[in-house]
Amino acid sequence: MSSWVKPVTLVGRTIRLEPLCEAHAASLARHVELDLFLLFAGLRPREASERGLADYIRGRLALPMVQSFAMVLQEGGEAVGHSSFMDIQAENSGLEIGSTWIARPWQGTKVNPEAKLLMLAHAFDELGCERVMLKTDLRNLQSQRGIEKLGAVKEGVLRRNVRMVDGYMRSTVMYSILREEWPRVRQGLEARLA
């Protein structure tokens, strides 16, 4: 973890983002499906069990320059996914939002837009970021649509830049939001949540 980005709880109406910890494993295990991670370039859970999620969480917590959050429903307190600040670069006033997964029953709801609003607001308004990056596998059309719906600008495709666990050479679609674009992106997210 970076000394610039410290653990923090970000609170919205539908969800709160809590620093990911092993205590979230049981709740996440109730909602996880391993195929949600098929296009993840890095760490993935090995099994859809509390033990498997606890191992996965320990692995995430050991990653340098990463601050991971559990997406916890305000009503009921269930953790239904997670997202992270990654590639944290204090010297460049930038970071990436990524490694996001949301259990299927909460996909297409207010969970993801509110998580992105909370994370982007923290990045731009509290940390003073100049740039927030988002990226996804070229094959992940659902993720690309979601990132574009945010209002992020597509910067291009890094061709065959990451070897996946199965040996496949992934191409990565790169997006970003700059500080001057944040007010427009915030307005769009707030409209979606209204």
List pLDDT tens digits, range 3-50: 789 999 999 999 999 999 999 999 999 999 999 988 888 889 999 999
Above pLDDT 90, what percent of the chain? 91
At residue 51, does pLDDT exceed 90? yes
The CATH classification number of 10-193 equals 3.40.630.30
Among 144, 176, 169, 164, which Cα is nearest to 40's?
Answer: 164
pLDDT, average across residues 112-128: 98
Domain chopping of the chain, boundaries: 10-193
